[in-house]
């Protein structure tokens, strides 16, 4: 099977490409390298440096490669930035997705997997969050993914597209070869590890007065290789119909638990500074992933927090400047 992976030079896309190559799939990466890294692309994959904003270029790549399926990771994905630049997010993410989906319809490509997000559920009514939770995005970023899910629903109805929308919570960890390198970094685990590497003086904890067991926010961390495995399972199930899944560990970990775990694993004191709550940060966000477990037999292998942090630490220690190392 030939799979086109947009954003395959980014964090989650590059690990998924690595695992797809491991299954024997033929992989084409479409990435404009605006946020990703050439060195992250598996050498067995073909890299097409191309922006999804350029419809003729997307058409050309699809016409030349004729993939059987598309996994769409490419997007801007910083919630905070989207609150400052909403049109950039709703505009770029939706336009890029539309160009891709329209081009797929024109080229007869009928299988699609979307990287969706927990940001669809701004302030959920029930924790852990199941697929039928009301969608009220808390940011233009979440809204852009919601609009893409709606576009997919219509494309499925009208053009027979088979799709899976995988709404992930916080991707974390690394494969032995590939890890997380965002610039700027906004995710907790790499930021904490930057302190252990001496690249940052301390980690700021935004609020310790939340109604959680230790007062700090609780989030659901899912290992990037478990996430990649879910994409592979979802792709295999598309012939039985389109589907939507929430993907997380199910168990949340607080900011303090992440810092404590990193202290144990790195042997570094990791000083912390107590900051104020950030507006819009809910106390706890965890996924109810029973549906994908029951329907696809998805079984996360790295659910324990130490396993997640340890894999990230191994990668960051070996690549202290990320892909620039
Ligand atoms: N990281 C997370 O915790 C998380 C959680 C939920 C959902 N997601 C979603 O997963 C996907 C991947 O996230 P990530 O952390 O790997 O992001 P990333 O920034 O590491 O990778 C995104 C990749 O897409 C490429 N790209 C961006 N815009 C493009 C365009 N217009 N044309 C071509 N390529 C383009 C970038 O160069 C980069 O390589 C995103 O869609 C994100 O919204 C991520």
- The rounded distance, in Å, linking the Cα atoms of 28 and 36 is 15
**Beta-bridge mates of residue 169:** none
Higher pLDDT, 123 or 267: 267
**Beta-bridge mates of residue 28:** 4, 46
Whether the model clears a pTM of 0.85, i.e. scores above it, the answer is: yes
The b-or-e profile of 238-258 (16+ CB within 10 A means b, else e) is beeebbbbbbbbbebbbbbbb
Enter the tokens of residue 260. Answer: 């404590």
User: Which protein residue has the closest C-alpha to ligand 1 atom 23?
Assistant: 7
Q: Is the CB of 32 under 6 A from ligand 1?
A: yes
Distance 7 CA to ligand 1 centre (A): 6
| pLDDT tens column, 269-278 | 999 999 999 8
Q: Is the CB of 36 under 6 A from ligand 1?
A: yes
Work out the pLDDT band at 279, boundaries 50, 70, 90: confident
């Amino acid at each position: 099977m030939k799979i086109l992976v947009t954003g395959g030079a980014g964090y989650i896309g590059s690990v998924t490409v690595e695992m797809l190559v491991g299954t024997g799939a033929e992989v084409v990466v479409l990435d404009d390298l605006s946020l990703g890294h050439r060195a992250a692309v598996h050498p067995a994959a073909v890299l097409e440096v191309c922006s999804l904003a350029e419809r003729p270029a997307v058409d050309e790549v699809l016409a030349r490669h004729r993939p059987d399926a598309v996994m769409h990771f490419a997007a801007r994905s910083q919630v905070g930035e989207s609150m400052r630049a909403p049109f950039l997010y709703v505009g770029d993410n939706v336009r890029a997705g539309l160009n891709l989906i329209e081009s797929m319809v024109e080229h007869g490509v009928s299988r699609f997997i979307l990287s969706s997000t927990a940001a669809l559920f701004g302030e959920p009514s029930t924790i852990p969050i199941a697929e039928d939770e009301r969608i009220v995005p808390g940011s233009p970023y979440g809204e852009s993914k919601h609009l893409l899910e709606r576009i997919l629903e219509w494309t499925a109805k009208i053009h027979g597209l088979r799709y899976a929308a995988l709404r992930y919570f916080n991707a974390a960890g690394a494969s032995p070869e590939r890890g997380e390198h965002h610039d700027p970094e906004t995710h907790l685990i790499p930021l904490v590890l930057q302190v252990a590497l001496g690249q940052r003086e301390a980690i700021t904890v935004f609020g310790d007065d939340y109604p959680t067991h230790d007062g700090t926010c609780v989030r659901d961390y899912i290992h990037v290789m478990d996430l990649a495995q879910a994409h592979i399972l979802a792709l295999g199930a598309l012939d039985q119909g389109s589907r939507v899944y929430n993907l997380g560990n199910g168990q949340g970990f607080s900011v303090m638990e992440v810092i404590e775990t990193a202290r144990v694993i790195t042997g570094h004191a990791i000083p912390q500074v107590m900051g104020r709550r950030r507006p819009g940060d809910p106390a706890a966000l965890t996924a109810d992933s029973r549906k994908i477990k029951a329907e696809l037999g998805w079984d996360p292998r790295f659910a324990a927090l130490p396993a997640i942090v340890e894999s990230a630490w191994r990668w960051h220690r070996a690549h202290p400047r990320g892909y620039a190392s």
